[in-house]
Structure 1
């Protein structure tokens, strides 16, 4: 039997899934996946019948022997013990009742481990209480803020419009590991003769999607984009029809012409030949001569000046005439909920205060009054946040912590109560994508094991047990309301039948160069920062640490079947260029360590050609409990915009 569902994990794909369920009589339930097989929906225009290795492992993951299937409550002996739902939820409600008069002492941390209309339930609960919440982002915040500063709102051409490009410039998006379906689109475009230029520090898996490369210093993207814009300005190649649609053009022009090409290229370790290559792509001198589409990876905004890098790439797209046209555009990202009505949780109330996510350990330590109740769901902040050991200590210092989780993560290990939640294939939901305009319906096609509950029912269960209960809407009501927007013309019944629909959005963003700012103009950056600390590499820690996506993890979760986190105890493998200067001082016959001013961990070193010589690549996803979290080495640094985490500005060294 086959059923349609969808994957709501923290990923651009939002894939439509075909779930192949076993016949009860076939006796396949000794299989690690319970006889369930997951494939991509061939009828979905974006999924196109393909699902990633993590998606194929969803069925086995839900039956993992490591999964938590009953509520856990910490006892007097300091250990977590099984409890009934009534015991666990009543304990949570009692703790909240005791603090209801001081909502600022209650902190709610919700991540994007899964998303959608029903996923807003915990936000509704804690907004109703007026509790504190997070601000900022560990993911895309700097780039989102940059796009808002430039365009007035984050938006890009419809993903289907990429097929109309004559050429593509890929600024650091790993098309094999982080954007499988986009990679398939690029692969098909190359087969039709569309050339692709990749710009990155190297170490990505883009060779199969690339015709030409420019290798730059980590964080140097804004300088290369600025050099290309400067070339346009020096050649008087920006049409007046475009400059008239910008704010601040004359200041911007004078600012860039005051810099030399050589200075800008030196700042990103690029050559004049590299600049010539980029200019040919942006000036439509390659391919069929039509517009060039630019893909912006989310890694390039994980630097201190990450927002500025996105802004200068956007400006290059705009001033070269590739914005607001079919086949062009700057593809960064969109809000996954923008075409849905998710207002029910936001209307519930306002937070008493906020905590900066990139500096959460410090913010918790200095909080006055202190946080006494912490609720975490769809998030593993202890593993995923910078300065992870300090955050672990800060969470341990909170009087009472509740974590809604399916596995004993670094955060769940420090909880007083762990509430077992549903996973993909078990959880009903409606959600969108951060990249395309299709809306997905995830049907619950597999039963929840043990005493597992839907996240919505967990939040509602606490709300009902409060001394003054908080009324909750019904699930069906929330799902129907989510579809009541100007962008959708589908009923809940129709969506449940088809599994997906497409939101009504323009295929070309910013057509006619009309932008979302009140003045209707594109807003150019007013500064290009040439920070010495950002351009130079400190001597004691000469290497730049980049923590890249691992092919078998979504952030700190969803390992392949047979690769549960408890099995990952060997040292992580890091990659460096064969010409990396650190290799000359290492004795490979002795243990090797990766060190920063904040910590040290054992590693294996693997040379990989093509990486910038002062770069160390490390896979993300490892857990602090197993000595494998890169964030044990990374300082809390905030990006220039959007209150993001500047993970990629951490310097390290390799040593024996």
Structure 2
């Protein structure tokens, strides 16, 4: 009898599975025997590999094919596609690249290509795209991530490096030494189902349960009760969305005014606290930032804030700040203030205490693991110096040559003529999709590599069909996960789909750069080279990896955990002179002279409360605050067409959760079709009425494929990004502000 462990392994960003195929079709994905909490997301592939949304041949938009580059860009997303041969598609791409580079320069090619693509080390779409374009002279890239751009920019100023996001104190240290975890934004299990580069075993839920059994107490600070599991018996504090900074400032005032802060720690390990203290007491601006002040902003009782601050100071406390909090207007302030609170408590660098950025955001954060340097596909050097912050795509397309501020400098938007996207979906990640769609019509040409007709592919001129991880061999080598997994080819590619490597190699032949691009290696030879280079690197880090032949026989290998639980900034605490931070002072910068020198009124020299562009404190009658968080049934928009994601739909639409009081005010019942709208757009959703969300707030997960109706901008599938404002968090980081968004709701006639 065949056992699940007899089936070949494959790995995705949401976990590792045993893949069962029959007669050339995928019939089951069995959980990996090492995984205590497998994700259901992988099951979304069943029926989708050869489903109606599969792209099986190269396709070209009809108007573009007939009229050439720049023809009727406004028809992207509406126009018909024409099938062409691979040779014709390769020649069209090669000719267009040559035209754009010779006429407009390499900076006019935008290849931010943001997305997660494949978990395999070799078949990583963006790496191949960037390697290919760098051989032609380069391209304009994007920097930072939609997930936490403002956090990635602020942390180097405050703590000396964005890498600390993934260097959190380990779960084991929390289990052994923590008394209280205060989770701003919660620790959402659904988000922790994901890990960049693939993962072997989900750790977050088991770790939380082990911590609770060990006596750790939890506080969930979020508009959503589900942001911490019920099994933790967490205290739920629900501030108004986008007011977390004010709440943290109120907590800091209690620690200061009641003598609960650790002055010795502040004096030795930080700079600028007195400037911040003057802000708390009102000496600098005449406004005392006490708990009464915070309560009025946050909608939480003053006494509740005082009680939490005293509780935090009474034992070993871990402050967790969710990545989602950086996606508010002025989102930089939340990571900065979380650090300040931990510094005032004096627990940074101690076991089980301090601050962590994004526990539960991905499986990686808090994972007990070694951190070797694994070899990636070499991308070469990009000669182009222009770039954009990741969330400024629409502005770049609308304003060629315009200036923007970023991290203390002024930069200029390129005049984009060609967009190439491989391995992602901008019509998922970006905000104000109707604005993006109008801007997307401007470039001469849009090329997309993808395996299914998602909204990015539908808005392309040339679509190059690629394979999925199940249709090719690869290897999982993530420096952020202890498991190495041999990814076997399970089924043959659908139709004429090709690996991204073969797609670029084919185009490279037309441009005369095939030898440079491929280095005369096939895919298997590249995988072997990547592994052998990684094995050498691991040996230097005193990690012994098995020979590749042995790994292929066993299918997987787990690197040993470190001997001691990891403590973020432990060495800095032990000896700040010998192990200084990479900040100008070498210390934690509560006041940053460098940031102050930028002169940004939306990000001054110390953490500050600034009103969001949209929030309930300035809402009109009938407006609700939208929380557009990550989905539980897919990774971003991947596998939205699959049975897992579709199984959660209500009438084919994304669910929208709202409080019974708000539902009653509009005559809405469970399962009703509702229209969620504002001045930027509208989407249709299925109502879920629940007291697990606070009044005045509505929650719609991201990831539904953008599907505007005929002759309308209303998204019929319920993508909330049609509603979110496309604005930078501040001039410092220009991150996305999706979570600072007001909307209205109404019952909807389903005939639209």
TM range (shorter): 0.7 to 0.9
Write the deviation string for residues 471-518 of structure 1: whole angstroms up to 9, x where unpaired. 334423344445536657344626655344368798111014245325
Q: 2:115 matched to 1:112?
A: yes
| Match in the other structure for 1:348 | 381
- Provide the residue aligned with 2:99 in structure 1: 98
Q: Is the 8 A contact 1:105 1:372 kept in 2?
A: yes
Choose 81-90 or 188-197, whichever is displaced more: 81-90
Deviates more, 1:176-185 or 1:512-521: 512-521
Could you tell me which residue of structure 2 aligns to residue 177 of structure 1? Answer: 190
* Residues 226-278 of structure 1: CA deviation (Å, up to 9, x unaligned): 22222111222333331120011211222222222211222222223422442
Determine the structure 1 residue equivalent to 2:299. 269
Indicate the SS of the match to 2:559. Answer: strand
Per-residue CA distance 1:373-420 (angstroms, 9 max, x = gap): 211011110233112122223333322221111110111012222222
- SS of equivalent residue, structure 1 residue 90: helix
Q: Does the C-alpha gap of structure 1 residues 300 and 261 become closer, same or farther in structure 2, counting only changes over 3 Å?
A: same
Structure 1 residues 4 and 273: alpha-carbon distance in aligned structure 2, compared to 1, 3 A threshold: farther
C-alpha spacing 1:538/1:182, structure 2 compared with 1 (3 Å): same
- Deviation of 1:60 after TM superposition, in Å, equals 4.8
1:235 aligns with 2:258: yes
Match in the other structure for 1:45: none
User: Which of 483, 495, 517 is residue 471 of structure 1 equivalent to?
Assistant: 517
Going from structure 1 to structure 2, the CA distance change for 1:298 and 1:430 (only over 3 Å counts) comes to same
Shift of the alpha carbon at 1:36?
Answer: 3.4
Give the Cα separation in 2 of the matches to 1:328 and 1:480: 38
Q: Is the aligned partner of 1:68 residue 2:81?
A: no
Matches of residues 211-360 of structure 1 in structure 2 within 5 Å? 211-243=234-266, 244-258=268-282, 259-285=289-315, 291-332=316-357, 339-341=372-374, 345=378, 347-360=380-393
> Against the structure 1 CA distance between its residues 643 and 499, is the aligned structure 2 distance closer, same or farther, given a 3 Å change threshold?
farther
Are the aligned partners of 2:44 and 2:643 in contact in 1 as well (CA < 8 Å)? no
Counterpart position of 1:134: 142
Structure 1 CA distance for aligned equivalents of residues 244 and 120 of structure 2: 33
1:489 and 2:555 aligned: no
Whether 2:598 is the aligned partner of 1:598: answer no
SS at match of 2:111: strand
In structure 1, the residue matched to 2:490 is 446
Structure 2 CA distance for aligned equivalents of residues 345 and 564 of structure 1: 35
Decide which moves more: 260-269 or 517-526: 517-526
Counterpart of 2:181 in 1: which secondary structure? strand
Match of 1:372 among 397, 408, 417: 417
SS in 2 for 1:21: strand
Residue of structure 1 in register with 2:86 after alignment: 85
Q: Unaligned stretches of 5+ in structure 1?
A: 23-27, 43-47, 286-290
Q: Which ranges in structure 2 are unaligned for 5 or more consecutive residues?
A: 67-78, 194-202, 283-288, 402-413, 592-605, 709-714, 748-752
Question: Would you say the 8 A contact 1:108–1:133 is kept in 2?
Answer: yes
Greater mean deviation of Cα atoms: 217-226 or 172-181: 172-181
Q: Please state whether the residue corresponding to 2:661 is helix, strand or coil.
A: coil
CA RMSD of aligned residues (A): 3.3
Aligned position for 2:719? 629
2:559 to 484, 494, 501: 501
Segment drifting more, 260-269 vs 472-481 = 472-481
Q: Does 1:645 align with 2:731?
A: no
Query: 189, 193, 200: which one pairs with 2:222?
Result: 200
**Against the structure 1 CA distance between its residues 282 and 2, is the aligned structure 2 distance closer, same or farther, given a 3 Å change threshold?**
farther
The correspondence for 1:613, drawn from 686, 689, 695, is 695
Separation of aligned partners in 2, 1:381 and 1:465: 28
Residues in 1 aligned to 2:248 and 2:327: alpha-carbon distance in whole angstroms: 17
Distance in 1 between the 2:272 and 2:188 partners?
35
Distance 2:86 2:561 in 1: 39
Secondary structure of 2:112 counterpart = strand
Residues 351 and 592 of structure 1: CA distance in aligned 2, closer, same or farther (over 3 Å): same
CA drift at 1:311: 1.3
Q: Residue 104 of structure 1: CA displacement?
A: 1.7
Instruction: Answer whether contact 1:123 1:345 (CA < 8 A) is retained.
Output: no
Question: Do structure 1's residue 55 and structure 2's residue 100 form an aligned pair?
Answer: no
**Counterpart in the other structure of 2:444:** 399
Distance in 1 between the 2:46 and 2:558 partners? Answer: 21
Q: 1:175 to 1:634 in 2, by over 3 A?
A: closer
Alpha-carbon deviation of 1:345? 4.2
- Whether the 8 Å contact between 1:439 and 1:502 is mirrored in structure 2 is no
Q: Please say if 1:123 is aligned against 2:130.
A: yes
- Say if 1:527 and 1:92 are closer, same or farther in 2 by CA, change over 3 A: same
Q: Report deviation, 1:330.
A: 2.4
| Matched ranges for 1:24-39 at <5 A | 28-29=22-23, 34-39=26-31
2:159 aligns with one of 133, 151, 162: 151
Distance 1:264 1:205, change over 3 A: closer
Moved more, 563-572 or 415-424: 563-572
CA deviation profile, 1:441-493 (whole Å, cap 9, x unmatched): 45234134233333233333333331455433442334444553665734462
Q: CA deviation at 1:7?
A: 3.4
CA distance in 1, matches of 2:385, 2:504: 19
* 3-state SS, counterpart of residue 609 of structure 1: coil
Secondary structure in 2 aligned to 1:132? coil
**SS in structure 2 of the partner of residue 579 of structure 1:** helix
State which drifts further: 165-174 or 405-414. Answer: 165-174
**Between 33-42 and 621-630, the greater mean CA deviation after superposition:** 33-42
1:162 paired residue among 150, 163, 174: 174
Cα pair distance change 1:412/1:596, threshold 3 Å: same
**Counterpart Cα distance in 1 of 2:581 and 2:8:** 37
CA contact (8 A) 1:442 1:499 kept: no
Q: Among 526, 529, 544, which residue is 2:625 paired with?
A: 544
Q: 1:81 to 1:585 in 2, by over 3 A?
A: closer
Match of 2:586 among 520, 527, 532: 520
Match of 1:529 among 561, 584, 609: 609
| CA contact 2:392–2:734 (8 Å) conserved in 1 | no
SS at match of 1:152: coil
How far did 1:298 drift?
1.8
CA positional deviation for 1:312: 0.7
The alpha-carbon distance between structure 1 residues 438 and 265, as it changes in their structure 2 partners (threshold 3 A), is farther
Structure 1 residues 499, 388: CA separation in 2 closer, same or farther (over 3 Å shift)? farther
Closer, same or farther: CA 116–332 of 1 in aligned 2, 3 Å: farther
- 8 Å contact from structure 1 (residues 71, 83) kept in 2: yes
Q: Does residue 1:410 correspond to 2:492, yes or no?
A: no
Tell me the number of residue pairs that the alignment of Structure 1 and Structure 2 aligns: 631
Instruction: Check 1:191–1:629 CA distance in 2 against 1; reply closer, same or farther (3 A cut).
Output: same
Query: Which shifted more, 462-471 or 179-188?
Result: 462-471
- Which shifted more, 592-601 or 481-490? 481-490
Q: How many angstroms apart in 1 are the aligned matches of 2:668 and 2:659?
A: 16
C-alpha contact (below 8 Å) 1:136/1:356 kept by paired residues: yes
Q: Please say if residues 68 and 407 of structure 1, whose CA atoms lie closer than 8 Å, have aligned partners that are also in contact.
A: yes
